[in-house]
Amino acid sequence: MADARRAPLKDQTDVSGARALIVEARFYDDIQDALMEGAVAELKAAGLTHDVITVPGALEIPAAIAIALDAAESTGKPYDAAIALGCVIRGDTIHFEIVSMESSRALMDLAVVRRMPLGNGIITVNTEAQAWARARARELNKGGDAARAALAMLRIKRRLTRI
């Protein structure tokens, strides 16, 4: 496995007080707990509040985000960012490819069409051991990575819309 080489982002635009939505798929509870821990820690460190919606699996995440975005806007309390968290482990059928590809495609469509800072923390792996390596480790926690990605996009959006 290649070493991570992501450079730290220098944009420190203030995003405190923003609202985030986390939609999690509770298919693998223990792995999900670790991903959630990483995401929540990043949001709290940046000064965001968040709501959590739980869905059965990764395919339901994009629709739940879209429904929640519409509901939040209609009540005058829109979300500023969204984070998708889940785990898809390869099985014996092509279902893995369908779930991983379609959930990612739908999340990308949501982010672009709605101009929504969105972090994709749906890990797609071959084995449970690979899932734990991406969920448990503090430095590689993909829940935290997804939150950092959403925060980075939110900072860009805030900086550019103030101009």
Burial category of 53 from C-beta neighbours within 10 Å (exposed 0-12, middle 13-18, buried 19 and up): middle
At residue 109, what is the residue type?
D
Select which of 95, 98, 115, 127 is catalytic: 95
Sign of CA dihedral 61, 67, 72, 78: positive
**Cβ neighbours, 10 Å, residue 153:** 17
Backbone angles phi, psi at 29, to 5 degrees: -55, -50
The answer to whether 95 is a known catalytic residue is yes
CB distance 14 to 73 below 8 Å: no
Angle at which helix 29-46 crosses helix 142-161, to 10 degrees, equals: 30
Integer angstrom CA distances of residue 113 from 24, 107, 116: 21, 10, 8
Catalogue the active-site residues. 95
